[in-house]
Amino acid sequence: MVIESLHNNMNYYLTRRVEFEAAHYYRIPELSDKENHELFGPTSNPNSHGHNYVLQVTVKGDTLASNGMLINIKDLDSIIKEHIVAEYDHKHINLQHPAFIQDSSLQPTSENIAIQVWQSLTPHLQNADLHLVHLYEESALSAEYYGEGQMVYLTKVYEFSASHRLHSITLTDEENKAIFGKCNNPYGHGHNYMLEVTVKGEVDPRTGMVTDIDLLDQVIEKQVFSRFDHKHLNLDTIEFEKVNPTSENFVRVLWEIVEPQLKPVTLHRLRLQETPKSYFDYYGD
């Protein structure tokens, strides 16, 4: 019998992506329709609604000496197919998924589904360990779970439009022109900024959520859109009266504005994408 030997305890990460389509609703059984609607809004519709879910599963581990692979993708696919896709695809999660039937107080939120996916996959993986379950309910809303108890990272993406001029008041006009080139155009230019807001926290056992998304939307609407959307950063905002509106400065300014407003929810990361070619991450101090 040949015993598979591992290489030098290296960690490799492999991500596989699958999709499934499913229906769900959020409802606390002991609450009335009206109370559920107050708590969950349209997602409480007892007739359900649905999503095209996108699931990214990341496994980590060393390669096998015999084949140079962390895990055979065919094997990983069949594990995901049998234990996840078969249980969710074209199903009503509340009414047809064993974990959510068994506990009707467990809301099939992205947070809880990500945790459930982790629990379903773990027993079937050999050699490879599960690293991350990343579930997208829609392209702008996703949950990441790393197997840390009830701790989930939730990301929502917002888009707004603004113009700016890269110009530093500490430099001469010639120096500004040399450093910033066409971004120093005195009349400005603009972007569709994409702001990814990632919060982290323990899943609330009652709502199945890390944070109330409406609250997050309200903070971004009130604190970010009202200040910056359809504005000229240098001319219309006090934040950039004297500060050069580079993406580095912008993402820090956004953190300073948003982070205190989200408390007690913990802001984990802001990612600001100025163009599809570059994005900037900021994690606070």
Active-site residue set: 183, 230, 274
Token reading at 11: 């960690």
Distance CA 152, CA 171 (A): 44
Distance CA 121, CA 113 (A): 12
User: How would you class 181 by CB atoms within 10 Å of its CB: exposed for 0-12, middle for 13-18, buried for 19 or more?
Assistant: exposed
Query: CA 196, 40, 17, 13 torsion: positive or negative?
Result: positive
Token reading at 48: 């359900």
* Backbone torsions φ then ψ of 162, nearest 5 degrees: -155, 155
Of the CA atoms within 13 Å of residue 85, those in its CB half-sphere come to 16
Contact (CB, 8 A) for 24 and 108: yes
Nearest to 77 by CA among 138, 15, 148, 160: 15
Q: Is the peptide bond before 264 cis (omega within 30 degrees of 0)?
A: yes
Contact (CB, 8 A) for 161 and 195: no
Of the CA atoms within 13 Å of residue 65, those in its CB half-sphere come to 8
Contact (CB, 8 A) for 117 and 142: no
